[in-house]
Every structure is written in structure tokens, then in C-alpha cells.
Structure 1
Amino acid sequence: MILLRAIGPVTHKLMTMAQWREASEAAGFVAPETLVNTGNMIAGFDGTEAAVVKTMVGVLRSFGLGENVVPVVRKPALLHKLMQADPIAEAAAERPNQTGVYFFASKKPDFEWLKRHDGPETVHVVHDHLIVDFTQDVAQSGKLIRLIDKNCGTNTSRNWNSVRRIADRCAAREKA
């Protein structure tokens, strides 16, 4: 699974999701499928995770996308583990759009700073990912979001609903 960081309406002028799928397939990705929100792809690839990242970076740069558009790669099994852990069950059920899962480019982000976090948000570390119950409109949590960026490095996040839907689609593909 590939999650893109810094993708949105501005980048759509350079690369549509259909173009991304086509270019990914031409680069060796098998049955690329985009889903849920912009910048989510499920695809097979014969190679290491480093090779996936390198190849996908080449695809992205071929469209003229800047270095801020970064692919974050995860195996579908990890999504299933995150869903099973569900440390925010009540929040995920009541306000899934106000819960987030942060995926980091670094394999071992530094979470030491969380010991000092005193915001209204509840933060859980699960398999080196942050799962955040924002408890409010995400836009009200700018301080926490800046701390995550500053302390954990390059990342991308998806709300709980999106992660669940991506995990479900990964499971369906595995069964097919």
C-alpha cells in the first residue's frame, strides 16, 4: 500500500489518479488501484520496500511533483494490526473523522516528546504509528500537528474511516 504525502487539488493539475495508476503500472506495479481519498494506492510490486519507494518516487517526479510529495509504503497486514489494536474504539465509533492515523517515512520515529504532550488530544503509539483522538475538530489541533511534524519527521495521516476502508479493500484483494 502506498500513501502519498502532500497530495491534493494543486497536484491534481499535474497528476490525476488515473494517470498515477497508468504510470505506476508502466513502472512495474501490479494491478494499481487508487481508493478512498486522493493519494492512496494498493498495488503489488516485485521488490523490496526500498525499491517500491525508489520506483514510486520516479513515477511522482515524472509528473513534475516536488520533493514534498513523498510515498509512504506499508504492507496491508500492518493496516489490519492497526485496526485490530483500535486504541480509540469509542472515538472511532463516535467521531471517526476526528481520529487520525499517522504514517511516518522513518521506520522508528522519536516519540519521546509525547511524554510532555498536555493537549486535549489523546495519542497512542501502535506499531510505530500515532493514532490520535483529536477530541475536537482537527483544525483546532495545530499545535499537536506541528509537534508531530517537528519531532517525528515526514509523515502523512488518514482519518480512521479512510484507514478502515483501505484495510477492508486490502483484505478483499487478498481474498480474490
Structure 2
Amino acid sequence: MPDTLTTYVILLRAIGPATHRLMRMAQWQEAAEQAGFVAAETLGNTGNMIAGYRGTEAKAREAMIAVLRGFGLGENVVPVLRSPAALRKLVEADPVRDAAESRPAQTGVYFFATPRPDFGWLDHYEGPEAIHVVQNHLVVDFSRDVAQSGRLIRLIDKHCGLNTARNWNTVRKLAERCGDRGKV
């Protein structure tokens, strides 16, 4: 139903210092609201937003892409949308509890643009990282500096397609914020 206000968690791919020169988070929030997103709020400085939208997920994605292009951001900056319920289920699964508590910067959740990424390659992957599949996400305990896991990151990109990653604490905070909004 297009008239129903649905809450989306919007995670931007390829956001960093270079893109912040073109679009600050406050500007993104304002532009999103001008494009029809309701009660847009950002979390952190790395392209995380929670906002309502009257329309399907596909329409919300299209509207967000238009917002991003309006700032002159390239096609590599892509919104990946999730429902608050999907984030809640991910957090409830809690596959990296110990790692998230003791070394949150060494945990990652990969969100994919495609609804069914190929995880078959994981059967043959041998690496030091502990990898968990939760719904259509990869939750990774890197167990060391993430920069040392370049091989795994390249394999995720190659086999699973367009993605963006957040550490476990960010995912947890986004889920909490969604709950605070009463939309979970």
C-alpha cells in the first residue's frame, strides 16, 4: 500500500571522507525529508539513516538514489535498505556476542543489495575469521584487525555482490533506535 508509512533502515555503501565533502549527514537528512522521507534521523557519520517512507522498498530505494545523485555522489554510493524487523532478528541471533563485547571493531555485518546472495563459497573457505550466516547477511568475527582480512573481503565482494558492512555495535544501535521509534 503506497499510503502506508513504512520505516526503513538505510545503509549507504562507499561513504567516507571523500563523500563527506559533498554531503554531510545533516544535509543528507534534510534532503531525504524533502524527497518524502519522514522523521529521518542519522546515526554516526558513516551513512546510517532510519526514516519512514510512503511507498514500497523499491520506491524508497529509487527516491534515496535520487537524493544521493543530487549531491553529485557517484554510482558506487548505493543505499541498502532493511526493515527494522530484519535488524531486530539479526541482533536477536547475536552470533558474535563475546567478540562484540570484547572487540566490537573486529566484528562486521555485511548487508547485500541482492535479496539472495551466494553463500555457497563459504563451504570451502578456510580462514581465521568466524563467519555466520543470519538471514541474508554475513556476520563476521574477524578476530584481529579487519585490514588483515583482505582476502575474505574480496571473496565477499566477488561472490555476494554489492554490499556494505557495519560493526556489530552500529547494527545494535540502529535496531535500538528503531525500537525507540515504535516501528519494530
TM-score normalised per structure 1: 0.97
Which amino acid is 2:171 matched to?
Answer: V
Equivalent positions of 1:3-152 (< 5 A) are 3-152=11-160
Which amino acid is 2:132 matched to?
Answer: H
Instruction: Tell me which stretches of 4 or more aligned residues in structure 1 moved more than 3 Å.
Output: none
Contact 1:88 1:133 in 2 (8 A): yes
- Identity rate, percent: 67
Contact 1:37 1:162 in 2 (8 A): no
1:146-170 Cα distance to aligned partner (Å, 9 max, x none): 0000100000000011111111111
- Supply the distance in 2 between the matched residues of 1:96 and 1:17 (Cα, whole angstroms): 23
- Supply the distance in 2 between the matched residues of 1:161 and 1:18 (Cα, whole angstroms): 22
- Supply the distance in 2 between the matched residues of 1:43 and 1:162 (Cα, whole angstroms): 16
1:166 corresponds to 2:174: yes
Structure 2 spans left out of the alignment, 5+ residues: 1-8
- Supply the distance in 1 between the matched residues of 2:43 and 2:102 (Cα, whole angstroms): 23
Query: What count of residue pairs does the alignment treat as equivalent?
Result: 175
- Structure 2 SS opposite 1:44: strand
Contact 1:100 1:158 in 2 (8 A): yes
Aligned-residue offset at 1:36: 2.6
TM-score normalised per structure 2: 0.93
